[in-house]
Amino acid sequence: MPEVEIRKFASVVEEVFHEGGPRATTPLRRAAVIAVIRNPFAGAYVEDIQPFMEDLKPLGLMMANRLVDLLGGDPSVVEGYGKGAIVGAAGELEHGALWHAPGGYAMREVLGDAMAIVPSTKKVGGPGTRLDVPITHINASYVRSHFDAMELGLNDAPRADEMALMLVMTTGPRVHNRAGGLAADKITGKDGLR
């Protein structure tokens, strides 16, 4: 089974105080962790790629724990999450799909009983490619105030034989959310949707 070879990690924390409207008493924080790893399947078609999902699990857990640390160490402050992958040019989109299970379940595990599916996106791209990683509420996907996204990328990755794997967590709604819909304090949090 291929080892996960990590070339670099990057992390970012954003604090949003306002966006032209009233200053938030508690700023919204959005954190992301990116791991740039070697794509063991780059350059050739490989039929059986699923074992690599197992290899990625420890990385997913480590990245999810790093995110919680970046947000101060208390998982209960996390209200939104998302994930994504950029596959370097010698790989295929399907390789990015290997991140779904290890990335998503790692965050749900670290956050306790997060109910909602982790929204995701992926693409093939070269160094400098940016990915708009979608974000939704961790317990109820329909919470409208928490629909958000974070643009992520690195100038030097992914190289052709690499993948950039991303996890994102946020601490609350958009800073001036006022588009209605299901509110976070109205969810039942049982089916992951409402």
Q: Which residue of 1, 3, 6, 141 would you call a contact of other proteins, by CB under 8 A?
A: 6
* Pick 114 or 169: Cβ nearer other proteins: 169
Q: Is 155 in the site for other proteins (CB under 8 A)?
A: yes
With contacts defined by CB under 8 A, name the span among 11-19, 50-58, 76-84, 139-147 that binds other proteins.
11-19
Question: Footprint of other proteins on residues 18-47 (CB under 8 A)?
Answer: 18-20, 27
**Selection from 73, 74, 99, 106 nearest residue 85 by Cα:** 99
Only one residue has tokens 């640390």, namely 69
Q: Is 17 in the site for other proteins (CB under 8 A)?
A: yes
Q: Is 151 in the site for other proteins (CB under 8 A)?
A: yes
Q: Is 130 in the site for other proteins (CB under 8 A)?
A: yes
* Pick 12 or 46: Cβ nearer other proteins: 12
The site that binds other proteins (CB under 8 A) totals a number of residues, namely 22
In the complex, minimum distance from the CB of residue 192 to other proteins, in angstroms, rounded to a whole number: 29
Length of the chain: 194
Q: Are strands 162-170 and 80-87 parallel, antiparallel or unpaired?
A: antiparallel
Q: Is 14 in the site for other proteins (CB under 8 A)?
A: yes
With contacts defined by CB under 8 A, name the span among 13-21, 90-98, 111-119, 176-184 that binds other proteins.
13-21
**Selection from 24, 5, 163 nearest residue 84 by Cα:** 163
* Pick 130 or 186: Cβ nearer other proteins: 130
Q: Which residue of 2, 5, 26, 117 would you call a contact of other proteins, by CB under 8 A?
A: 5
CB atoms within 10 A of CB 100: 17
CB atoms within 10 A of CB 185: 7
Only one residue has tokens 């209960």, namely 76
* DSSP assignment letter at 146: G
Q: Is 183 in the site for other proteins (CB under 8 A)?
A: no
Return d(Cα 67, Cα 8) in angstroms, integer: 16
Task: Return the axis-axis angle of helices 51-70 and 100-110, rounded to nearest 10°.
Answer: 40
Evaluate the omega torsion of the peptide bond into residue 158 and state whether it is cis, within 30 degrees of 0: yes
Name the site residues for other proteins (rule: CB under 8 A).
5-20, 27, 130, 151, 153-155
